[in-house]
Chains A and B, each alone.
Chain A
Amino acid sequence: MSDQTLTEHQSTAGARPIRTLRPVDFEPLPASAPTAGMVRPSRSYWQDAWARLKANRRAIASLYIIVFLMLFTFVGPLIWRVDPALQDVDQISQGPFADRSAILVAPFERWDGISLEQGFGDGDGLRLASQPTTQQVRMLWDAVPEASAYRLYRNHFEPQSALVLGVPIASITRDGVHWYEDRLDLRARIYYYSVVAVDELAQPLGQPQTIVADVRRVITLDEVVARGLTEDPAALQPGDAIELSLHPLGTDYLGRDMLARLMAGARVSLFIGLLAPLMFVAIGVLYGATAGFIGGKVDQVMMRFADFVVALPFLLFMILFQVVFGIGPGESGIVPMLIALVVLSWPATSRLVRGQILQIREEAYVNAARLLGGSHQYLIWRHMIPNTLGVILVTLTFAVPAAIFTEAFLSFIGMGVAPPTASWGSMCNEGLKTMLTHPHELIFPAVMISMTVLAFNLLGDGLRDALDAKMRSSV
């Protein structure tokens, strides 16, 4: 062979540099030269899987979300120490970043209908007698001599016609009284008050008069002290501005802090979402592995039973179990749900694990190990378990969002946790009722559910791709 050049050719040669062989390449190597060996360090199955998982950006992002959720659930309540059941009646259904200033006022005193605050009560018709506050809205109007009664209405919107004035709040029939003090469930917002004078036959006399009241939020010193809003009550005087308690994500329809409730709900959702899958996957693995390992008649009977349990209509039996366990007063209903989930969900895992065990049992490497004298113990611990662990882990990851969904569904229809226990599902249910006016009460828990379910689903996808090339999804 002279200086003829040989080019390497392979079917995949496109990417490879073409290497020229020279006579030197055909010289025998000295005996001391390194023999063929692994160029890369040996990596175990799990190291390999971890490397593949790390390359999957979506899986890593979902891992970060899960870590954040864990922090939110377990560390969050240590930082944000607000009782999730505590009602802040001053701030009901407040959105996030709502104005929370209030003015300190003296305790309420009855109004005689005569005394007027400076700058108020002048003019004709319906007029305010003082600054409207959440404590009271005082108004008076000109007496109509032939009137037998005055009807008062309150509205959140400007009345468009004399027929639609709003909610009737009072009907005043006492002689000589042509003033009214509204104290009914006042909020810091704009109200439209209307008054109509009527005769004995309840026919309106003249057009209704309407007035706008821009109600200011106030608070008394007693309330400030009771809610712990100040450290030095003596230093406060009427007219001082007070900051009400902070609710970063707003409050719900009972004035409970959304952030604290989301954290409490996360505890319920993750408790069920993590513990139930752990339990039923463990049971399923034991059951399926036993059936698969023993085989024969026992296997048939065991699997037939598993098929029966699979056939039970899942959600109906979840509800049925909730009834069977009977949630007594003061109980949250979490444990019955956990038990029901475990009782109904184990067969899917057991089927899967049984299939795996049956398959691995016939593999050549297991036969080889058996021929070499491997004991049952050795076969189970060395071959069966490590080779099913990937499948089990993936099942576990996909079981978490399913369990969280189930919990949310049941709590949503009122068959899950009992109030006042917060759960994302029950919060969604409550938020649904006020969806139009206070969307944040629905959005926050819904986002939490979706984010958690999404994170675990993506992680499951990533794990499946990383752990088992055969099951690799093309999504």
Chain B
Amino acid sequence: MWSYTLKRILQGIITVWFIATATFVAMHNVPGDPLSSDRAANETIRANLEARYGLDRPLFEQYLMYMGNMLRGDFGISFTQQNREVNDIIREHFPVSATLGVLAVVFAALGGILMGALTALYRNRLPDYIIMFLVILGISVPSFVFAALGQLSLVNLNAMMGFSVLPVAGWGTVSHMLLPALVLGLGTMAYLTRLMRSSMLEVISSDYVRTARAKGVPPARIFTRHQLRNAVMPVITVLGPAIAAITTGGFVVELVFAVPGLGRYFVQAVQQLDYTVIMGTTVFYGTFLVFMVILVDLVYGWIDPRVRLK
């Protein structure tokens, strides 16, 4: 177990190095350069700025500098925002995205597991049909449409009730988080529901469930101890990639709901071509995702002894 963990972490570090390098290569191929704004119109100023950022050195030296800074956890200073370090931006905005993402994953996982189990238990009956119809909607409707419809219905609900049931946009309190998190998790929830359903169907017809029933175990206990526990395993495996999809897909929801998250900041930085912010956010997000996936895999090995033995 320990050597496996160590191996995975080592792999993760190499992957992060690859992500950092890919980001560096990509950003160096962006047309124009960071100093092409008006500030650097003067030749001397330009030369000074280039020296300050090391842009006058050979590319490989720049790369080493960049990697050194990354290793020290220094992502540099924003090009467009005065006196603002990329680290500050991440520190300030990432917790928002992370909160939203975690909440969305919780929604998606709980909803998916519960609804998937329900559809399997009521296979080919009304609850199954209703939930599977919703699942098809969840898979085929883009999240920004859900976001828009959610906002619209919330506006109507608030107007109908005469007071603000939930805020329509913004950030700050738990009530601000509910709708964006639900919208963000909806697609994943639909996917997990499908997965849980097929896994549950397999478990229901398995020998150990039949044995448990024959022994006279009460149905509720069969459901919790024998069916749910085993059926949930495949759902946990895909949770890693699901977290990745939810956290990087968050900026659409962040844009619609005016949530001050890192994703929205990234889009803004791209529009303004803020080099250091783009590179810093990408590498930070990449690192986060790589280690999230590793963490989920390790947890999986801890929960399911069969994986550990391999």
Residues of A within 8 A of B (CB): 307-308, 311-317, 319-324, 326, 401, 405, 408-409, 412-415, 425, 428-429, 432, 435-436, 442, 446, 449-451, 453-454, 457-458, 473-475
Contact = CB atoms under 8 A, between A and B. Distances in A.
Nearest to A455: B140
Contacts of A454: 136, 139-140
Given A316-B281, A323-B273, A413-B267, A446 B141 contact: yes
Identify whether the interface residues of B are mostly helix, strand, loop, or mixed. helix
Nearest to B123: A474
Contacts of A409: 142, 144, 249, 252
Contacts of B155: 436
B176 to A, nearest CB: 20
Chain B CB within 10 A, most for which of A308, A414, A428, A442: A308
Nearest to A429: B144
A451 B142 CA distance: 11
A255 B245 CA distance: 37
B270 A323 contact: yes
A93 B281 CA distance: 39
A473 B194 CA distance: 9
Interface residues of B, number: 51
13 contacts: A311-B289, A313-B244, A314-B245, A320-B270, A320-B278, A324-B26, A326-B31, A408-B144, A413-B267, A442-B145, A446-B141, A449-B141, A451-B140
A308 B15 contact: yes
Contacts of B152: 435-436
A450 B152 CA distance: 19
A312 B19 contact: yes
A408 B142 contact: yes
A425 B14 CA distance: 36
Interface of B: 11, 14-15, 18-19, 22-23, 26-27, 29-32, 132, 136-137, 139-142, 144-145, 148, 152, 155, 194, 197-198, 201-202, 244-245, 248-249, 251-252, 255-256, 266-267, 270-271, 273, 278, 281-282, 285-286, 289-290, 293
B309 to A, nearest CB: 21
Given A311-B290, A323-B270, A413 B252 contact: yes
A319 B148 contact: no
B289 A450 contact: no
B285 A321 contact: no
Contact of B19 (A311, A449, A451): A311
A312 B286 contact: yes
Given A313-B286, A315-B249, A413-B252, A450 B198 contact: no
Given A324-B30, A413-B251, A432-B144, A312 B270 contact: no
Contacts of B244: 313-314
Contacts of B266: 316, 319
